[in-house]
Amino acid sequence: QSALTQPASVSGSPGQSITISCTGSNSNIGAYPLVSWYQKHPGEAPKLILFEGSRRPSGVSDRFSGSKSGNTASLTISGLQTDDEADYYCCSYAGSSAFLIFGGGTKLIVL
Amino acid sequence: QVHLVESGGGAVQPGGSLRLSCSASGFSFSNYAMHWVRLSPGRGLEWLSVIWHDSTNEYYADSVRGRFTISRDNSKNTLYLQMNSLRVDDTAMYYCAKADAAAGTVTIEYWGQGTVVTVSS
């Protein structure tokens, strides 16, 4: 299976909201409610921010939310903060053969 | 506090082999599935493999199936990735990661800091 499709970059100003899309297919996002999102700052390990589409791990701000429509999952970050500037990756279960596939990543720029 | 420390990375020629290790602490290692994921500049994150807590199941990405082997030693709290027939496009940062359950799970909960593998002639 091919990688999930994400925009290369999105930008927003502090306080604004942005949405990052993640488009897959009927073999992954469209078939399973098992999308997770990861935040990665330069030089740091990735961090889980959403799992099973819209669930937040303990300690993750409620400014991060997730949704899904058909073959596309979305991550919305409200009340943008400068520390939100990072790379964001979606990941979906893709069945027992491919198991997990990631998106290409989206660089969030906070202006 | 979950702590994952990868080691074993380095430079290797195409066709060569490397064995990565991941030392785990801060949680009950034998109760969780574990993953390997890599990050390369041109390709972003790529999931490679997962092994259930008791080694009863392993899954691999197509790109590494038949060349890489995941394993674990629960008595040593250590995860391994044996990488054979390495190619230039295997060059990446390799991450060890903890799942959120013992088996039948797809969520990667915690990640290590990674170890760099460079495949070049």
Mean local confidence (pLDDT), A72-96: 96
Mean local confidence (pLDDT), B18-34: 97
Pairing assessment for the beta strands A106-110 and A86-93 based on DSSP bridges: antiparallel
The burial of B75, by beta-carbon neighbours within 10 Å (0-12 exposed, 13-18 middle, 19 or more buried), is given as: exposed
Asked if pLDDT for residue A1 goes beyond 80, the answer is no
Q: What is the mean pLDDT of chain B?
A: 96
pLDDT in tens, A16-34: 999 999 999 999 999 998 9
Among chain A, residues having any CB pair with chain B shorter than 8 Å are 3, 34, 36, 38, 44-48, 51-52, 57, 89, 91, 93, 96, 98-105
Position A8 scores a pLDDT of 95
Integer Cα distance of B97 and A45 in angstroms: 10
Integer Cα distance of B110 and B54 in angstroms: 19
Contacts of residue B62 in chain A, CB cutoff 8 Å?
98
Asked if pLDDT for residue B105 goes beyond 90, the answer is no
- CB-closest option in B47, B106, B113 to A45: B113
Residue of A44, A48, A55, A100 best to disrupt the B interface, most CBs of B under 10 A: A100
